[in-house]
C-alpha cells in the first residue's frame, strides 16, 4: 500500500495455501515483519474399531492422518481394506487404505469430484458418483461411473438426479438406486446392474417431502432399512423391495438417528445417535432391541460394518481454531 494506506502499489501475492479452512482476525506487527491470523475449520477423520465378539466394541484407532474430510464408503470382501472419499486435494476424490497401512493410496483422482465409492456384488468393480459442473449448473445430473477394482479407466454406468444414492448387496448380482421424484414426492427405488445400467423400478414410497432419507440395503439385497422418514428420526422403516410391504421399528427414547448401515449378518443395524451433549454408536436388532457400543462428545458419522463382522469404520468430526504467525513473507 502507499503511505496513505488507501491505494495498492503492488500486485497481490499468495502467502498461505491451506484448503478448506477459514482465515480471520489478521493483524500485522508494527515493523511489518509478522502477520498473525486465526486458522479455523472442521475436520472429519476416519476411525476403525474392532468388535469384540461379545456384543461390545474396542476403543477406536485413527486411520487418516491428513486432509480435512475423510468419509468411509465401502469395504473389500475380506474386511481388510476401506474405500473412502476425501477432499484432501481441495476437491473430493476416492482413496483406498488397508487396515495395516498408515497412509492412503490414490484410487480415483480428478478431474471433477468423485464421491461415495461402492463395491459391485462380485467385487470386480468400484462404482462411484462423478460430479462435473458445467457452467455452474448445480442441477446437472450426476454420473455413475465404474472402475475395475484393480484400477483403470472409468466407464459410464448411468446418470441420475442430484441426491441419488446407490447400495450394492453381496448376495445378488444387482445394486439398488434411490432417487427422489420432486414431481410426485415419492422416493423411487430401482434395480441397477453394474454393467448394463438401470433395470427398472422396484418400489416407490410416499412421505419424503424433505428429499432422500438415509437408507441401507440388506446383505442379501432384498430389504431396505430407512431412517428420517417424515419428521420421526428415532425409528427405522424396513421395506421389502419385492412388494413394497413395510414395518416400523421404533427405538424409543429421544434418539436422533443420522444414518444407518446393516450388520454383516443381516440381523440388525449399526446407527449413530446424536444429542446436544453426546453421540453414541448403537447396535439395533431387527426387533428394536438397542445396545450402546461407544459414546463420545464429538460428532459421529454412521458406522460401516466390515463384511466379516469384525470391524466398524466411522468418522469423528472435530473443530479446530488456532492462532498462527507468518514470517518472512
Kindly state the cell numbers that stand for 246.
413395510
**What pLDDT shows up at residue 271?**
95
C-alpha distances out from residue 296 to 118, 311, 318, Å? 28, 18, 11
Kindly state the cell numbers that stand for 2.
502507499
Kindly state the cell numbers that stand for 288.
428394536
**What pLDDT shows up at residue 219?**
95
Residues of the chain scoring pLDDT < 70: 19-21, 133-139, 207-211, 228-233
Please name which of 95, 86, 94 lies closest in space to residue 130, comparing C-alpha atoms: 94
**What pLDDT shows up at residue 230?**
58
**What pLDDT shows up at residue 295?**
94
Contact by Cβ (8 Å): 70, 315: yes
- The reported pTM is 0.84
**What pLDDT shows up at residue 206?**
81
**DSSP letter (8 states) at residue 229:** B
**What pLDDT shows up at residue 139?**
61
**What pLDDT shows up at residue 229?**
55
**Residue with the three cell numbers 441419488:** 164
Query: CA-CA distance, 268 to 238, in Å (whole number)?
Result: 11
**What pLDDT shows up at residue 264?**
94
Domains of the chain: 22-327 (2.120.10.30)
Please name which of 254, 176, 276 lies closest in space to residue 220, comparing C-alpha atoms: 176
Residue pLDDT, tens place only, 255-280: 788 889 999 999 999 999 988 788 99
Query: CA-CA distance, 323 to 73, in Å (whole number)?
Result: 34
Instruction: Provide the terminal-to-terminal Cα distance of the chain, rounded to the nearest Å.
Output: 15
DSSP bridge partners of 281: 272, 294
Burial of 32: CB neighbours in 10 Å, binned 0-12, 13-18, 19+: exposed
**What pLDDT shows up at residue 136?**
54
Burial of 76: CB neighbours in 10 Å, binned 0-12, 13-18, 19+: middle
Amino acid at each position: 500500500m502507499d503511505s496513505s494506506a488507501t491505494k495498492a502499489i503492488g500486485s497481490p501475492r499468495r502467502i498461505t495455501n491451506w484448503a478448506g479452512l477459514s482465515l480471520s482476525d489478521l493483524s500485522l506487527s508494527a515493523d511489518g515483519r509478522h502477520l498473525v491470523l486465526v486458522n479455523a475449520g472442521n475436520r472429519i477423520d476416519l476411525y476403525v474399531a474392532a468388535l469384540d465378539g461379545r456384543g461390545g466394541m474396542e476403543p477406536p484407532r485413527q486411520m487418516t492422518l491428513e486432509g480435512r474430510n475423510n468419509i468411509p464408503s465401502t469395504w473389500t470382501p475380506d474386511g481388510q481394506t476401506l474405500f473412502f472419499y476425501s477432499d484432501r486435494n481441495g476437491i473430493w476424490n476416492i482413496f483406498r487404505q488397508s487396515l495395516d497401512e498408515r497412509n492412503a493410496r490414490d484410487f480415483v483422482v480428478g478431474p471433477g469430484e468423485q464421491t461415495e465409492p461402492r463395491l459391485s456384488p462380485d467385487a470386480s468393480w468400484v462404482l462411484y458418483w462423478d460430479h462435473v459442473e458445467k457452467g455452474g449448473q448445480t442441477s446437472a445430473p450426476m454420473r455413475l461411473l465404474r472402475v475395475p477394482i484393480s484400477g483403470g479407466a472409468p466407464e459410464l454406468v448411468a446418470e441420475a438426479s442430484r441426491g441419488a444414492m446407490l447400495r450394492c448387496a453381496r448376495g445378488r448380482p444387482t445394486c439398488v438406486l434411490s432417487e427422489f421424484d420432486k414431481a410426485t414426492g415419492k422416493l423411487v427405488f430401482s434395480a441397477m446392474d453394474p454393467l448394463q445400467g438401470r433395470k427398472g423400478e422396484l418400489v416407490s414410497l410416499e412421505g419424503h417431502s424433505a428429499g432422500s432419507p438415509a437408507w441401507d440395503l440388506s446383505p442379501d439385497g432384498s430389504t431396505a432399512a430407512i431412517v428420517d422418514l417424515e419428521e420421526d428420526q428415532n425409528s427405522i422403516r424396513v421395506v421389502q423391495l419385492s412388494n413394497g410391504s413395510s414395518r416400523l421399528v421404533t427405538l424409543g427414547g429421544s434418539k436422533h438417528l443420522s444414518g444407518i448401515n446393516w450388520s454383516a449378518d443381516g440381523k440388525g443395524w449399526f446407527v449413530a445417535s446424536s444429542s446436544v451433549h453426546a453421540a453414541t454408536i448403537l447396535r439395533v436388532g431387527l426387533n428394536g432391541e438397542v445396545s450402546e457400543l461407544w459414546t463420545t462428545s464429538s460428532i459421529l458419522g454412521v458406522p460401516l460394518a466390515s463384511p466379516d463382522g469384525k470391524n466398524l469404520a466411522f468418522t469423528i468430526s472435530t473443530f479446530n481454531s488456532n492462532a498462527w504467525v507468518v514470517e518472512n513473507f
